[in-house]
Amino acid sequence: MRIVLAFCLLWMMPVLAWAENDAIALLERMTQAGKELNYHGVFAYQNGRTLQSIEIFHRNDADGETERLMSLNGAAREVIRTNDMVTCINPEGKQISVSRRPLGRGFPSDLPRRVRSATPFYDVVLGDEERIAGRITQELAIKPVDGYRYAYRLWVDKETDLLLKSELLAENGDVLETFAFSAIETNVDISDEDLKPQTSGEEMTWHQSEPRQPMALTDERLISNWDTIWLPDGFSLVASQNRLRAKNGSYVEQRVYSDGLSSVSIFIERIKAHHNHLHGVSHMGAINAFGTIIYSHFVTVVGEVPAKTVEKIGAGIEFNLTGTP
Amino acid sequence: MTVNHREMLSALVDGQLQGQELTQAIDYLNSDPSARAEYLRMQYTSDVMHGYTRSVTERPADLAARLSAVLADEPVYRQNALLAKAKVLTFPKTFWKQATGLAMAASVGALAVVGVMNQPDYQTTPMASVVNSGNVVQVATEVNRWTVGEPEIEDRLNNYLVDHNEYAGGAGMFSYGRVVSYGTEQ
């Protein structure tokens, strides 16, 4: 009996490996489709008891990618993303915030290229077919190997490989947030008009942040005075930048760590005046933040990971007195 | 659209659906354009009723008036109504700090809860504290915003959220949905 069982397992191993490869290949195609396709649709964002409808236009052409998202309920907040800029418009607060994109690499970030490196830390399996927004999708179930990252369920359009629904799950299986298209058109012409903000910008307060010195990971200037003594397995530094906040004139260092799928940013901002700062853990939907003060710097860890992860990373950040930036 | 479907949409707008019921409602919205139109109409009506289409600075007077009017017509909540009204008038700053963060369920009952938020045994969700302020700011979390009460800290976290979104992984193309829907109240 044991021999038969061992034989079955040996026979099944290549099949299981092939299935996982298939799932990872689909994950990679999905991230690529989100960048390359033109699409226009409406998706719902559900987080706890809040549910919001959001319209999205995405265009990819010779000039690169451009995207506009607009809230359909309540205040008409908008986000417009281009290759090198993110503009957030909040008509309710009469504010426009413009942030130059890091490294000028376009968007989304280069995380999708790292998806395959995430596989040791997640079980990725193909699930059932399901109909979302009138299209047949393939479900992908992604379970982490430990409690320091969230699980995902993704539904990918079988025809275009576009992500049509996403669920983020806590360790106990609770759904923390859901994004789901209710209607979507692909391969449509997105006009310049579609990508223009609806708000004129008059009578708005503008805030701008500029990158100080874009840095490649091989750049020697990446040497920082800050060390992390603990990160979840598989997390490594994938980006770093300094940015000048025009609003308060201070520089903010952002260091991004990722396992290829989940990511965490550490923001370090020198205290220039008597300001209040987050002390402890806060959250916004599935995004958790942990704040503390070290050597006259506001240090904040932000990421779509459990609260215990940002807290543990934050508790292990050290100022290296011998380091020379 | 049947009466049952309409009730389901109403419950969805009111945030009363969970689990399988919520999935069914979203599937229904996905499959029927007229249901989506009806849902958006109901959601908008709910937003107007709750004053969410007004700016934050205009809200206090408006909501206070509505709260008083609603509670005056609601004898069951008479005692809380008087308490709430008195606190609004006496401690407007504290009141609005709490009311901003309060989960706004679409019922009159939820509005009446404002009146008891200052009771010492009232249960709130886990809080973040604020360095240097001398006070621990407490905010209920059934709203799509950071669980902090200081605008300065909220502003800083929002900047960080936008910058971090560049690197958001799993939800990828959807990630800026969090930014667009920031501050949504139920």
Tell me whether B110 touches chain A (CB under 8 Å). no
SS3 B78: helix
Q: Where in chain A is the domain with CATH 3.30.200.100?
A: 212-319
SS3 A157: strand
Tell me whether B40 touches chain A (CB under 8 Å). yes
Measuring CA to CA, which residue among B127, B132, B137, B123 is closest to residue B93?
A: B137
Measuring CA to CA, which residue among B144, B148, B142, B83 is closest to residue B117?
A: B83
Query: Is the residue at B121 inside a domain?
Result: no
> Hey, CA dihedral for A264, A270, A272, A273, is it positive or negative?
positive
Tell me whether A163 touches chain B (CB under 8 Å). yes
Check whether residue B10 and residue B35 sit in a common domain: yes
Q: Do B142 and A48 lie within an 8 Å CB cutoff?
A: yes
Q: Which residue range is the domain that position B44 belongs to?
A: 3-49
Q: Do B170 and A245 lie within an 8 Å CB cutoff?
A: no
Spell out, as residue ranges, where chain A has pLDDT lower than 50. Answer: 103-109, 212-222, 324-325
Check whether residue B132 and residue B182 sit in a common domain: yes
Query: Residue B149 — pLDDT band, cuts 50, 70, 90?
Result: confident
Check whether residue B41 and residue B85 sit in a common domain: no
In angstroms, how far is the first alpha carbon of chain B from the final one?
25
Tell me whether B147 touches chain A (CB under 8 Å). yes
Residues in chain B closer than 8 A to A298 (CB atoms):
156
pLDDT at B18: 65
Q: Do A278 and B142 lie within an 8 Å CB cutoff?
A: no
Mean pLDDT of B96-123: 32
Query: Is the residue at B122 inside a domain?
Result: no
Residue to test with chain A: of B23, B100, B178, most A Cβ within 10 A: B178
CA geometry: angle at A89 spanning A87 and A90, to 5°? 150
Check whether residue B106 and residue B133 sit in a common domain: no
Element spanning A28, H or E: helix A2-36
Q: Do A263 and B12 lie within an 8 Å CB cutoff?
A: no
Query: Is the residue at B19 inside a domain?
Result: yes
Number of structural domains in chain B: 3
Q: Do A99 and B162 lie within an 8 Å CB cutoff?
A: yes
Check whether residue B140 and residue B185 sit in a common domain: yes
**Residue A107 CB-density burial (10 A; 0-12 exposed, 13-18 middle, 19+ buried):** buried
Query: Is the residue at B18 inside a domain?
Result: yes
Query: Is the residue at B164 inside a domain?
Result: yes
Residue to test with chain B: of A27, A29, A35, A50, most B Cβ within 10 A: A50
Interval A88-109: pLDDT, tens:
888 776 677 777 665 444 444 4
Measuring CA to CA, which residue among A216, A240, A261 is closest to residue A111?
A: A261
Residues in chain B closer than 8 A to A99 (CB atoms):
159, 162-163
CATH class, range A212-319: alpha beta
pLDDT at B100: 36
Tell me whether B136 touches chain A (CB under 8 Å). no
The topology (CATH level 3) of A2-195 is outer membrane lipoprotein receptor (LolB), chain A (2.50.20)
ipTM metric: 0.83
pLDDT at A69: 94
Check whether residue B131 and residue B105 sit in a common domain: no
Query: Is the residue at B21 inside a domain?
Result: yes
Q: Do B174 and A179 lie within an 8 Å CB cutoff?
A: yes
Q: Do B182 and A179 lie within an 8 Å CB cutoff?
A: no
Residues 187-206 of A with CB under 8 A from B: none
pLDDT at A7: 58
Work out the minimum CA distance from A274 to partner chain B, whole angstroms: 8
Query: Is the residue at B54 inside a domain?
Result: no
